[in-house]
Amino acid sequence: MKRVAALTKVSVAVFAVAVALLSSAHAQVTGRTFRVTVTSTLGTPLTDCFRFDVPNTGDLTIDQLGQVLTYRHGQRDTVNTHFQAVSRTSQPLAIMFVGDTSGVPAQLTGEGVNEFGVTFTFSGPDTGPSTSPALCVPAAGPASAPASEAASPYGP
Please write the tens of the pLDDT for every residue from 99-116. Answer: 999 988 899 999 999 999
For residue 21, what are the β-bridge partners?
none
User: What pLDDT does 58 receive?
Assistant: 95
Residues of the chain with pLDDT below 70 are 1-26, 139-151
User: What pLDDT does 144 receive?
Assistant: 42
User: What pLDDT does 148 receive?
Assistant: 45
User: What pLDDT does 146 receive?
Assistant: 45
Domains and CATH numbers, the chain: 27-141 (2.40.128)
User: What pLDDT does 126 receive?
Assistant: 94
Query: Rounded to whole angstroms, how far apart are CA atoms 85 and 58?
Result: 9
